[in-house]
Structures are given as C-alpha cells and as structure tokens.
Amino acid sequence: MGGVGKTTLAQMVYNDDRVNEVFDSKAWACVSDDFDIIGVTKTILKAIKAVLPESLSNLCNLQTLRLRDCWGLINLPVGIRKLINLRHLENSNTSQLHEMPSGIDQLTSLQTLSKVVVSNNGGFRLNDLGNLSLLAGSLAILELQNVTNVQEARDANLKNKRDLDKIVLTWNSEYDDSLSKVLQQDLLEALRPHTNLTRLEIEFYKGDQFSSWVGDSSFIKLVKVRLRGCTYCKCLPSLGQLPVLKDLSIQSMLEVKAVGTELCGKDCSWEFPFPSLESLSFDDMPEGGMDLLKFSRRERMPLPCAPKALYKSLPKVEKHSCFAASFTL
C-alpha cells in the first residue's frame, strides 16, 4: 500500500538520535514488491561499517584470521604486528577496507595475504611485502598510485615470491593526469613477479606503455591475463609470446585504436603466436571502432587453434564498432 508515508516514517525513526544511542550499527535498505532476500541482505551487510577491536591484537597465538567477504570492514587493528604467529590473513572482497596499518611486515609467518592497500599517510607501504617471503596463492595490491619511490617496489621483491600464482596490480580508477608516466612505468617494471605465475591482472595502470615483462616468454605457466582500464596505453603488450596463455581479456583500453603485430611479439619462438589461446575478449573499447586485423589482412590471423568461424567473425569487428566483442576459439 503506497502513498501513506511509510518511508517517511521509517526515515524519521532511522535518523532519530535515540536510535543512534541504542545501536552501534544501522543500515538502510529499500525493499520493493519484487522481494529479493539475497539482494536485501547484501545491501544491509555492505552498509554496516565493521570495526575490528584492538583487543584482537592480544591473541598472540592466532594463526588464521578469516575476513573474506566482510564487505563492511573498514579497519584492521593497529596492533596487528603483535600477531607474530599469524599464517593466514584472508581479507579478499573487503571493498570498504581502504587503509591497512603498518607493521604487517613483521608477520613473517604469513603464507596467505589476499589483499594489501598501499597507504599515503603512514600505513602499509609496498616495501612491507619484502619480509613476507612465505606468501603463496593470490595477492592483490591496491592503490599503487600512492607509491612515490620505485625502490619500494623493488624492495617488495615479488620476483622471488615463487609460491604466488595470482597477482592483481591495481591503481585507483580515478583519472589523474598529475602522475608521472615514467614513474608508473618504472614502478610496473619493478613489480615483475616470479615466472611461476599462472594468473595476472593489471587494472587502471597509469603508465603509457607496459613493461617488458608483461608477456615475456619466460612466464611459461601463465594461463590467464586480464588488462582493464589502462587508459593511457596506446598499444598492447606482446602477449602472443606466452606459450600456455588460454584466456585473454582486454577491457576499457580506450587509447588502443588498433591491434597489430606488437601483440604477437617480435621474439616469438613459435611458428604461430598464441599457441594455446582458447578465449579472447574485448570489452568497452573505443566507440569509434578498432582495427583488430591490422596484421591479418596480409599475414593471416596467427591463431593456429582458431576455427574457421573465427576468421569469418573477425572482419566484422573491423568494419563495425568494437565497443564490445568476444571470441571463443
């Protein structure tokens, strides 16, 4: 029954000072006739700000701290450095966690660290990763635009963390023309991971060209690459040199007007580049169109595993807007 002021009354109760005095947390969620219990629950959980108590730092024998999917989490205890026996800090899918404290570098027993957020005000620094030699599995590094010294990236020592199989490198998505393109490129170069890597994601990179290691043939285990929102780059890295790459996703690369032989790589040692590619997708690319066949008109599309259907579908992409295109080989 609409029009009787239910929402107005609910807002008055929600905003009343007496309610704030009684409850530590509160959340506002709109419920329609098409009731979705899962959607409403997610809305409530995301709205609630969760603060971990400092007393958590006194659990000196704690080995595992699972915070995965805690959407409302906004902090980690300042004294987290005291958890010297901590082996697993699972903090993925914590979208409200925008800061992390200093001292994580002292947790030298850590094997799992799902996500770190680089601070610009005295919190976690990129070089704090240097002491964490046991890290394994997946690691996401966020807010890389806060790194002002390339040496911090070198000291992170990703190239010697052989047990990391997935790395996500993320800059802030907001446009910032004040950042030095040269610094960002040097930063990405210094963040070269170990060649045991199987999955790589680079998001909102602020440099204007990719580093030489992105697509280097020494990454013989890399099966999935995702490049997203690298808006300053005008060409793609030489990903065709990756011997076991199966899944390649390119998103929101608005300065890439053409894809040519640079994608295959000058030093490709195989008769054909992309020997293992199975899935290729382009999404949110230049609206004015993108020439995907700059090299294939004369040289033929060098994807040996591609069926004939692919050869028929690719020319359509050149003739029409490539705002969104996806191919399965």
DSSP letter for each residue of 230-271: -TT--S---GGG-TT--EEEEE--TT--B--GGGT-TT--SS
Is the pLDDT assigned to residue 329 strictly greater than 60?
Answer: no
Arithmetic mean of pLDDT over the chain: 81
Is the pLDDT assigned to residue 249 strictly greater than 60?
Answer: yes
> In this predicted structure, what is the pLDDT of residue 115?
97
Provide the pLDDT confidence category of residue 13 given band limits of 50, 70 and 90.
Answer: confident
Q: What is the mean pLDDT of residues 224-237?
A: 93
The DSSP output letter for 228 is E
pLDDT tens digits along 150-199: 999 999 999 999 999 999 999 999 877 788 999 999 999 999 999 999 99
pLDDT tens digits along 254-294: 888 777 667 776 655 445 678 888 888 878 877 555 555 44
Q: Which H or E run includes 15?
A: helix 6-15
Comparing CA positions, the residue from 305, 300, 303 lying closest to residue 315 is 300
> In this predicted structure, what is the pLDDT of residue 289?
53
Hey, which CATH number is domain 50-292, 1.10.3470, 1.20.58, 3.80.10, 3.30.2310? 3.80.10
Token pair listed for 294:
């700059």
Token pair listed for 281:
């997708």
Give DSSP secondary structure letters for 160-184. Answer: G-TTEEEEEEE--SS--TTS-HHHH
Provide the pLDDT confidence category of residue 70 given band limits of 50, 70 and 90.
Answer: confident
Token pair listed for 277:
């590619």
pLDDT tens digits along 106-155: 999 999 999 999 998 889 999 999 999 999 999 999 999 999 999 999 99
Provide the pLDDT confidence category of residue 81 given band limits of 50, 70 and 90.
Answer: very high
The DSSP output letter for 116 is E
Q: What is the mean pLDDT of residues 60-72?
A: 91
Provide the pLDDT confidence category of residue 295 given band limits of 50, 70 and 90.
Answer: very low
Quick check: 56 and 77 in contact, CB under 8 A?
yes
Domains in the chain: boundaries: 1-49, 50-292
Comparing CA positions, the residue from 130, 101, 105, 103 lying closest to residue 117 is 101
pLDDT tens digits along 15-33: 787 877 776 666 667 777 7
pLDDT above 70 covers a percentage of the chain that reads 78
> In this predicted structure, what is the pLDDT of residue 124?
97
Quick check: 293 and 258 in contact, CB under 8 A?
no
CB-facing half-sphere around the CA of 196: CA atoms within 13 A: 12
Tell me the C-alpha distance between 62 and 80, whole Å: 11
Burial of 266 (0-12, 13-18, 19+ CB in 10 A): exposed
Rama region for 204: left / alpha / beta (φ>0; ψ in -120 to 50; rest): left
> In this predicted structure, what is the pLDDT of residue 278?
82
Provide the pLDDT confidence category of residue 77 given band limits of 50, 70 and 90.
Answer: very high
